[in-house]
Chains A and B, each alone.
Chain A
Amino acid sequence: MPEARVIPLRPDDEEPRVPPPGSASWEEQVAGGLEFLRRRVTGDYATDEFGFDPDLTDHVLLPALRPLFSRWFRVETHGVENVPDTGGGLVVANHSGTLPLDAMMATVSLHDDHPARRRLRLLGADLVFDLPFIGSLSRKLGSTLACNEDAERLLTGGELVGVFPEGFKGIGKPFRERYTLQRFGRGGFVTAALRTGAPIIPCAIVGAEETYPMIGNAKTLARLLGLPYFPVTPTFPALGPLGLVPLPSKWLIAFGEPIETASYGPAAAEDPMLVFNLTDQVRETIQQAIYQLLLQRKSVFS
């Protein structure tokens, strides 16, 4: 017999549906839900200076992403032991898939699969924070603007920072270029790591490329809407909102061995040659890891 769960939808429903007796601690779950509602209505929770709302993240946003993580994409996480339990670290990953689902999945993976349940603080483009709803939700999930000031502030505070140096070039690339890394920005993430002495943890994500295979780009429409690209996939916009359902590809996320930066000293951030070399090293490592994961994966959907 499957377990029944009561999830309160309306706070003033006086009689929650009684599940069959025998299900474990449903009262506690309802009580927890009511307590959560009380906190939300009275504002009795903490947020940080970046707008991160751990209460909302733990009780709404992460649970909402979990079915996608474990059922839909069946994400397998490798190499969590390479991510330190405490202290700052810069997780650098490849970006793909038209919509930043890879960023969400990496967040869930580090929270659920890492023994220290680490929170990944993502860095996003300013466009993200300009958009209504998406911008404020991203901040509540722990994201902030991709700029050196914020990255260094988070790293000094001992946070795990997630960055996708390819940016829109990576996420908005056509399907035929899948799993080839684009240019890695201007190396801003390396200077942030050097200045704070935080290790760089390369991360390869396989599976996101096939969620929304982008076969075309409506550039004129994108320009009209002020977006960096307007994706055309086999299902979008042909099937309308149904086209927003991602294909259930099999995902693998692998964290590689940390690249230590503390020994260079903060002054090394002013040495462009070192920054370029480190950027290339990280890029190569991720590209190799992607190829290895692709070999491991039996097929796109299994």
Chain B
Amino acid sequence: MPPAVVLVTGVSRWLGGALAAELARDRAIDRVIGVDTVPPSPEMLRRLGRTEFVRADIRNPMIGKVIATAAVDTVVHMNISSTPAGSGGRGPMKELNVIGTMQLLAACQRAASVRRLVLKSSSAVYGASSRDPAVFTEAMQARRVPSGGFARDSLDIEGYVRSFARRRPDVGVAALRFTNFIGPRIDSVLTSFLRMPLVPTALGYDARVQLLHEDDALAVLTRATTGDFAGTVNVGGEGTLLLSQVIRRLGRLQVPLPSPALGSLGRFTRRFGYVDYSPEQMRFLNFGRVVDTTVLREEFGYTPRFTTEQALADYAATVTPVIPPEVVAGLTGRAQGLVARIGATAGSVGERLRPTPPPPGLRAVRDA
């Protein structure tokens, strides 16, 4: 049974807006309500179609009124910020993430009409450390529990959602643990990180990176909203790349810095609202993280269209490489041509120096 009234939080951001627009196109759904603290951009507003926009803060009890009066039956919680730059610092970010989720869940618990909750979570809940198994399944937990930042928020949010699911067993709860998003349109921590021409990384470490294309993220969210999957599922593209490989494929220059220097650089850039090098982000850059997507494919019933490699290639089309691969290929090709020419010349010189030419069709075998 498709949902009648869907509420999407965090609709002013790309993924939230795209999901609301997608749901608004589905005629089986009566109403789509988008909530955010900031109004969507005019361009986004056009895309949203028949979505009703409510400017509200989920940290405010008003959200309860919206859910009750509209008789919302499906709530998609996406108003979770992954970077302090986007929400005005770490303090407001934590407030929005944790207190916002608590308020939203409190409102959902009161509303008898709610029968489905979809949470946009993150694979950051698994942390990142040298003690990690190479691949995390949904049943595993962080070996080194993240102590702060977005990962800690994600863990807390999942904890609150789990206790909500206990208190309202009639509500189907789907928690989607996404890997890093990438794509031409989405704006994520990783996309802004990789847009820099010089990419600073931790010296002596190379993270394993698993990516998810924005189209696949959207498809999974849509399916989770309209379907009936309940439980936790890892969402990521197939295959992995090393961070150094990602940087090379994008034609970026990798600048390996010792970890302490990277930390101070992070504090410096964060002040100007650029890239976030929080301690947990640093650990991710050191060790990386890979998740198992068997549940996604077999139980949830979705196979991402883009592998990690293809998703990166699609994103790469939108960034101008500093070191274009064609130039590298051209250079090595020319060098190879040169080598072949020298080889041919050397061969013919050698042949001329030899008194008897070798019989045709046979390789010359010369003894010292």
Task: Give the B-binding residues of A (Cβ under 8 A).
Answer: 1, 11-12, 14-16, 18, 21-22, 26-27, 30-31, 34-35, 37-38, 40-45, 47-51, 53, 126-127, 129-133, 135-136, 139-140, 144-145, 147, 149-150, 153
Contact = CB atoms under 8 A, between A and B. Distances in A.
Nearest to A153: B135
Contact of B325 (A11, A34, A42, A135): A42
A43 B247 contact: yes
Contact of B134 (A15, A31, A35, A144): A144
Interface string B123-151: 00000001111110100100000000000
Contacts of B259: 132
A1 B328 contact: no
B284 to A, nearest CB: 14
A149 B140 contact: yes
Given A11-B331, A38-B332, A126 B240 contact: no
B246 A43 contact: yes
Contact of A51 (B242, B251, B331, B368): B242
B343 to A, nearest CB: 4
Contact of A26 (B249, B288, B343): B343
Contacts of A26: 343
A153 B287 contact: no
Contacts, number: 124
Given A42-B329, A51-B208, A18 B342 contact: yes
Interface string B40-51: 000000000000
Given A1-B368, A21-B346, A30-B339, A139 B206 contact: yes
A50 B248 CA distance: 19
Contact of B245 (A45, A129, A147): A45
Nearest to B238: A49
A18 B206 contact: no
A139 B286 CA distance: 12
B249 A44 contact: yes
Contact of B131 (A15, A136, A145): A145
Nearest to B346: A21
A11 B335 contact: yes
Contacts of A18: 342, 346
Contact of A126 (B130, B346, B366): B130
21 contacts: A11-B332, A14-B338, A15-B342, A16-B339, A16-B342, A21-B349, A21-B353, A26-B343, A38-B329, A42-B323, A43-B244, A50-B208, A126-B131, A129-B130, A132-B259, A135-B130, A145-B132, A145-B134, A149-B133, A153-B133, A153-B135
B340 A31 contact: yes
The 8 closest A-B pairs by CB, nearest first: A132-B204, A43-B248, A21-B350, A1-B368, A27-B343, A43-B249, A149-B133, A129-B130
B220 interface: no
A244 B283 CA distance: 31
- Specify which of A1, A12, A27 lies most central, judged by the most chain B CB atoms within 10 Å of its CB: A27
Contacts of A133: 204
A19 to B, nearest CB: 8
B164 interface: no
B134 A50 contact: yes
Interface string B346-366: 110110010000000000001
A145 B208 contact: no
Interface string B321-339: 0010100110110011011
B245 A47 contact: yes
B241 interface: yes
B346 A31 contact: no
Given A11-B335, A26-B343, A133-B204, A41 B242 contact: no
Nearest to A29: B339
B205 interface: yes
A38 B328 contact: yes
Contact of B339 (A31, A40, A136, A147): A31
B204 A150 contact: no
Contacts of B208: 47, 49-51, 139
Contact of B347 (A21, A43, A47): A21
Contacts of A22: 350, 366
Contacts of B343: 26-27
B190 interface: no
A136 B247 contact: no
B366 A53 contact: no
A38 B137 CA distance: 36
Given A34-B332, A150-B133, A48 B240 contact: yes
A136 B207 CA distance: 8
A191 B332 CA distance: 50
Given A11-B332, A43-B248, 9 more contacts: A34-B335, A34-B339, A41-B328, A47-B245, A51-B208, A53-B242, A145-B132, A149-B137, A153-B135
Contact of B240 (A21, A47, A147, A149): A47
Contacts of A130: 130
B139 to A, nearest CB: 10
Contacts of B133: 145, 147, 149-150, 153
Interface in B10-37: none
B328 A51 contact: no
B290 interface: yes
B323 A41 contact: yes
A207 to B, nearest CB: 30
A136 B204 contact: yes
Contacts of A37: 332
A59 to B, nearest CB: 15
Nearest to B249: A43
Nearest to B312: A43
Given A21-B346, A26-B343, A132 B247 contact: no
B339 A49 contact: no
Interface string B194-228: 00000000111110101000000000000000000
A136 to B, nearest CB: 4
B329 to A, nearest CB: 6
Interface string B225-241: 00000000000000111
